Amino acid sequence: MKRLLAALLSVLMFVSLCACSGNKDKGEEASDRTTVSKIAVVLPGSITDESWNQSAYEGLMDIKKAGYETAYTENVDVSNAESVVRSYCSEGYDFVIAHGAQYGQAVCNVAPDYNNVNFFITGNAPEDIAEADLPKNIMFADYRECEGAYVSGVLAALMTKSGKVGYIGGGNNTTQQSDKNAFIEGVRSVSADVEISTVITGTFDDSNLGYETAKAMNEAGVDVILQTCDHTGLGALQYCSEKGVYCIGYTSDQSSLVNGDIMLTSMMIDIPFMISSQIDAIKAGNYGGQTFPGLHDGVVSMSKFSPEVSEEVAAKVNAVIESISKGDLVITPNYSEN
């Protein structure tokens, strides 16, 4: 009987220890999810593109100054994204940022294997994954860039003298398609007679292609061009600068990249703020899901108008911006390639 009691006590102690150990692991995992020490960014392009990637890099450097350990990888093709993200996770990075909607599926593949890591996608969630099935440790920031693109379309339609405007996009992803479609919608809100040329180049990192695309558009009569294609866009801006073609910049105020006052405005995205604000959300313990920043919260904004933009035109465009910001005019993302 004594041996039996001793055996039973041993079993109970073992079970109790296992339960405590299990509770500790869960507690540690929960604690890990609210702790950030090492941050990595996966970039589709170059940190010197004066646009999307450079803004993210600058945001990362601001975070580094705050004492976090940081790392980044440039020019990551979608086909390599999953392995790059996994590598950072295995190296102990507890916050991994994939800077583009095109990385959504890759991160969704990785996230369930690293429950103690938080992930941030600067883009919308994959359309073929139900919201309930999205990994809980990912935050998708579906930037309403389309709102800025719509405003750009309005401005382009009001400023064209030839009656022909153009849009040049980069990689063929949902964000670029949404920008293209919103630009078209903005132009059409002003006039059904303005001709619109659109090209999704398929790359964010080919300035020569951007230059040649802008040249072809201009030679066909286009006299206002919006580009949203990072390093590829720098080539487009170079052509516009050489030929005096009106243009609209992307991500940051790009007026300094062209000669004269041909940069009518830039549709800007405060990427550094969006990245840094995720750390606060993680520490608060309510991380994951989807957010939709846009004109209403200042994450998307338009830079100062060029002197070429008259007060009358500026007033019309500002009225559109105010209407979108208040929610009176709703620009719904359209990811269609048509």
For residues 153-177, average pLDDT: 96
Residue 221 burial (CB < 10 Å; 0-12/13-18/19+)?
A: middle
- pLDDT tens for each residue of 224-240: 999 999 999 999 999 99
Query: What's the whole-number mean pLDDT along residues 295-312?
Result: 97
Whole-structure pTM value: 0.83
**pLDDT confidence of residue 131:** 87
Tell me, what's the pLDDT at 16?
Answer: 35
Please name the amino acid found at residue 198: T
Give the amino acid at 261: D
Q: Domain 36-143+272-295: which topology?
A: Rossmann fold (3.40.50)
Contact status, residue 77 vs residue 43, Cβ threshold 8 Å: no
Query: Average pLDDT, whole number, for the chain?
Result: 90
Q: Percent of the chain having pLDDT more than 70?
A: 91
Token pair belonging to 318: 């500002």
pLDDT at 8 exceeding the cut of 70: no
Q: pLDDT, tens digit, for every residue of 59-112? A: 999 999 999 999 999 999 999 999 999 999 999 999 999 999 999 999 999 999
E strands, 133-210, in order? 138-141, 164-169, 195-200
Of 144-153, 165-174, 257-266, 269-278, the range with the lowest mean pLDDT is: 269-278
Question: DSSP 3-state assignment of 326?
Answer: helix
Encoding tokens for residue 310? Answer: 């008259």
36-143+272-295 and 145-268+298-326 share one fold: yes
Q: Of 44-53, 235-244, 277-286, which one has max mean pLDDT? A: 235-244
- 17 band by pLDDT with thresholds 50, 70 and 90: very low
Tens of pLDDT, residues 176-199: 999 999 999 999 999 999 999 999
Q: What is the pLDDT of residue 285?
A: 87
pLDDT at 166: 98
Backbone angles phi, psi at 44, to 5 degrees: -80, -15
Q: In sequence order, what E strands does the chain have? A: 38-42, 69-73, 95-98, 118-121, 138-141, 164-169, 195-200, 224-227, 246-251, 263-269, 289-291, 300-302
Domain ranges of the chain: 36-143+272-295, 145-268+298-326
Phi, psi values for residue 119, rounded to 5°: -125, 145
Q: Note the pLDDT of residue 31.
A: 39
CATH topology for the 145-268+298-326 domain: Rossmann fold (3.40.50)
Q: What distance separates the 2 farthest-apart alpha carbons in the chain?
A: 101
CA distances from 169 to 109, 209, 219 (A): 27, 11, 18
Q: What percent of the chain stands above pLDDT 90?
A: 82
- pLDDT of 35 reads 85
pLDDT value of residue 127: 87
